[in-house]
A and B are shown apart, each in its own frame.
Chain A
Amino acid sequence: MRDGFLSYRGYRWLWICSLALLAFIAVYLWDNPVGGRNGGTIVGYTYGGIATAGILFLMYYGIRKRAYYSKATTLKGTLSAHVWIGVLLIFLVPLHSGFSFGWNVHTLAYALMLFTIFSGIWGVVMYTRLPMNLQSQRGGGTMTQLLEQVKAISEDINRMAGIEGASKDATPKSDVFLGMLQRLDFTFKPSIYRSLFKKSSQPIDRSRMAALLSELPKEEQDDGLKVIGLLNKKRELVSRIQDEASSLTWIRLWLYLHLPISFGLLFALAIHIFSVFYYW
C-alpha cells in the first residue's frame, strides 16, 4: 500500500497520539497553577520534558532509517510513529508554554519545530500522491534511458533529413521538408527550471500533420510521415522527462527544509532548555 505508513496497523499511532493529546488537554485544563499556566509550572515542565523526548524520537528516525538490520521494530511502524508524534507536537508545545509566545529563543524553537513538521507533512502529501504517477510515467525506464532515447530519436530525425549519417549519394531532402522540420523539431536542453515551470508543447495533432504532409513533394511523403512520427515520439519523451524531473523535485525538495531545519531546531531547543535553567 502506498500510504501504508499513515494507516499502519489500523492507524495505531494516530489513535495513540489522539488519546495522548486528549489527556494532555484535560490535565492542562484541570491544572490551575499560581501565576497562571506557563512552562515553569509542574505541568509545564512535564509537558516540556515529553515534547523534548518526542523531538529526540523524531530525530532518531534519521538514524533508524539507516539501520537496515534493525529487527526490533519495523521501519514502517517507526515512520508511522514519526509522522503522528510530529503532528501531536504541534499541539503539545503550546500547552507546555501556556500559549505564551514572544520574540525570543523559546518561541524560535517552536517556530523551527513547526517549519520542520509542516515540511514533513508536505513530504507526506507528496509521498502519498506522487509515487503512483511516477511509476505510470516511467514505463519501466530510468531517467538516463529516457534521455538516451531522446538522443537516439534526434539522431534519427537528422538522418531522415540527410543532415548527418546519410550517404553522400542519397538525394538531399527538399527545402519544404527541412522547413517542416524547422517548425516542428527542437533542440532538447534539459533544465530543472523549465521542467518545473515551463512544460514543452503537446504532440502534433492529426489535422496539422495531414496539412504538413500534403505540402511535401510526392517522393518525400513517406519519409515525412516517418519523421513526424519520430517528432511526436520525441515530444512525448521530453514531456515525460520533464514531468518526472518535476515529480522527483517535489518528492525530495521538502527534505531540504525538513532535515536542515530539524538540526537548527535541535540547537534552538538545547539553547531554550539551557537558558531557562541558567536563569531559573
Chain B
Amino acid sequence: MNFRYVIETVNQNGLKETLIEEVTKSDILIGRGASCDLRLVGRLVSLEHARLTVDDDSISITDMVSLSGVLVNNRLVKTEKLKKGDVVKIGAFVFKVTREDGVWGFLEERTEGADAGDSEAFIAKQAKALRFQTFLPSFTTLSILCSLVVAVLFGVMPFVFSDYWYWNSGPMSSAHRMIENDCAQCHSSSFVQVQDKDCLSCHKMSEHSGVMNEVFTKRPDLNHRCATCHMEHNGDAGVIAKESKLCADCHSDLGTMIANASSPDIASFEKHSEFRVTIPEYSMVPSESGGMDEEIVSAIRVSLKDTEKLKDSARIKLNHKIHLEPDLAGANGPETLTCMSCHRLSDDLRTIKPIEFERDCQSCHSLEFDARLPGKAVPHDKADLVFNYLYAEYAKLSLSPKQDESDQDSAPSRRRRRPGGIEATRGNAPVEFSRASVIDQSRNAEEELFTRTACHLCHEISEKPEDIAVSEMSSKYMVLDPNIPDVWMPAAIFDHGAHQSMSCESCHGGAKRSELTTDVLVPGIKNCRQCHSQEQKLNSVKSECVMCHSYHAPLVMKEEEKQAIEKILLKHATY
C-alpha cells in the first residue's frame, strides 16, 4: 500500500462519517477522467489534473497543465515535494497531507450544509436575503422608537431639567431676554394667558397715564390685558405695538369714555383733525405784595384752522418776507438769505436750533452805538448790562486823547447804514471827563438804542414803571422776554432731518409772504397727507399713530421699580 485517501464528512447532526480509499500505486493520477486513480468530480478539475509520485520516504505532486492548477499551501506549483501537514488545493477540493504508519495520504474534510437536501429552506433563505425588511426593525419597533425619542427629548426632558428653551415659540424682546429661559416669570399659571399681575410685578404702569387705567376700568368690554398690546416672543418687533387700531380703540370714541377729554375723537390718520399748536399766553395779575403786576405765562393749544386765535405770541418783531428778498445788505456786500441761513438743524438732525443773535443775526444787525467807537458793539444782553457797557465805553472815550475833528465828521458818511445800525451820535463835541457827562452820553446812547435803533428794531421794549427805582447805573428800559417757541407741537415727534430731501418752502411756503410775527408758519395735516397715509398705498409712506405720537406720559421709573428689576437681574446673573 502506497497511498491512502480519507474523506471525513461531518453531517448536520455533528456526526463524523469516514470514507477511506486505498491506492497501491506509486504513480497516482488525479483528475475528473474515468481512468484516473483519484477521481475528483468538480467544475475546476481537469480530466487529468495532477500526478502524485509516492515512495516510502517522499511524496511529490506535479501539475499536468490543468484547468485551475495545483496550490500547495496557497502557492501555485509546477512540481512540489510534499511533507506532512501541507495543504493541497485542486479546484474546490482541499486536502491535508498525512503520514500514518509510514503510509502517505490525503485527508479531505467536508461539512454538510444546513440546507443540504432541504430545497425549500434553501429557497426561503435566498428569498429572505432579497428582502430589505430582513435588515430593518419592524414598523412597530421603529414607530415606538421614533415616538419615544420625540416624547422623551421634547416632552419629558424640559420638566426633568427645568429647561424649556425649545418650547420657546420665538425670541424675546431685548428688554426681556435676561428672563427668556425662566418662563414662569411671566407665565405664572399654567394654561392661563399671561395676566396683568405678571407684568405689574415688575412694571408699575408708570409708562401709562392715569387716563389709561380709567379707560380700562370703564370699558371692560374691550378686554384689554397688557399683553393685548405688548406681545412677546416676537423679538423687538412685538413688544411695543405699532398698530394704529390699538390707539383708535379708545381715541375714536374718547368722548364717551372720559368726561372731559382734552383730545378730539380720532379714528385714523385720514380722519385726524387739524394740528393744534401750543401758544404761550400772557396775562397780567396784581402781585401779592401789592406792587406791580406780575406776568403769568400759560400755554393754550390752538388749531391751525382757528385763524382768529392762531397768532404767534412771540414778543419779537420779525418780517420773514423782507429777510427772504434778494441782495440784502450783508456784512460783506449784497447777500441773499435762505431759510437755512438762520434756521439750522440741531446736532441730532431732528429739530431746528433756536435762533441765536450772535450766530444768526449779528453779522447783519450790528449793535454798534457810536461812530467815534467803530467796532464797539453793546452786548446782546440784559438792559442793565448794556447800560453798564455804554458807561464804561464813554468813560474810556473821555479819558483818551482827542481825535482829529475831520476824521470824526467823515466817518459816518463813509459807512453805509445797516439795519439797526447807528449814525454818528449827535453832539460830537469833545468831552471833558466828568461823571455827569459820561452818564449823560450813556443815557443818550441808551435812548437811541432802545427806542429808535438796534434793540428797538426787533424787541418789544418798555420803560421801567415808575415804582421801580432806576439807579444811576441801571437802565431805564426793560426788554420783554421774546418767548420764541422752539417747537410748536412739543408732544409730537417730527424729524426735520428725515425730510431733508425736500425744500423748506415745500412745507413752510408761507414764510416768503409772511410780514408779521404773528403768522404761524406750521404746515397743516393736509400737507403731510401728500406723502403719508395710514393705509398701505402706492407712493405713500405707511404711517401709524406712533410715527408722530409717543405713547401717553413719558417713562418715569420709580425707585422701587428699579429695585425690583435689579432683583431679577441678580437672580439671572448667570444667564
Contacts and interface: CB of A to CB of B under 8 A. Distances in A.
Interface in B383-405: none
Contacts of B169: 39-40, 100, 102, 104, 106, 276
A261 B142 CA distance: 9
Contact of B130 (A161, A172, A174, A195): A195
Interface in B407-425: none
Contacts of A275: 158, 164, 167
A264 B146 contact: yes
A25 interface: no
A277 B191 contact: yes
B43 A178 contact: yes
Interface in B119-139: 119, 122-124, 126-127, 129-136, 139
Interface string A130-161: 00000000000001100110010000001001
Given A104-B168, A256-B136, A271 B155 contact: yes
A267 interface: yes
A40 B126 CA distance: 57
B299 interface: no
Contact of B43 (A35, A163, A249): A163
> Number of contact residues on A: which range applies?
35 or more
Interface in B71-117: none
A277 B183 CA distance: 12
A195 B143 CA distance: 27
A104 B46 contact: no
A86 B124 CA distance: 38
A34 B228 contact: yes
Contacts of A94: none
Contact of A175 (B46, B147, B238): B46
Contact of B135 (A192, A255, A264, A271): A192
Contacts of B134: 192
Contacts of B528: none
A256 to B, nearest CB: 6
Contacts of B191: 277-278, 280
Given A34-B245, A264-B146, A275-B167, A245 B131 contact: yes
B151 A190 contact: no
A55 interface: no
A270 B122 CA distance: 48
A185 B43 CA distance: 10
A266 B154 CA distance: 12
B42 interface: yes
B479 interface: no
A253 B123 contact: no
Contact of A147 (B126, B135, B166): B126
Contacts of B192: 280
A158 B166 CA distance: 66
A197 interface: no
A267 B187 contact: no
Contacts of A112: 150
Contact of A143 (B130, B146, B164, B241): B130
A260 interface: yes
A69 interface: no
B222 interface: no
A248 interface: yes
B132 A34 contact: no
B131 A179 contact: no
A280 B186 CA distance: 10
A159 B134 CA distance: 33
A267 B166 contact: no
B150 A256 contact: no
Contacts of B45: 178
Interface of B: 32-34, 41-47, 66-68, 119, 122-124, 126-127, 129-136, 139, 142-147, 149-151, 154-155, 158, 164-171, 183, 187, 190-194, 228-229, 231, 234, 237-238, 241, 243, 245-246
Given A100-B169, A182-B68, A280-B194, 8 more contacts: A35-B241, A40-B231, A148-B123, A171-B34, A175-B67, A178-B44, A263-B143, A279-B187
6 contacts: A34-B246, A35-B231, A106-B169, A182-B44, A267-B147, A277-B191
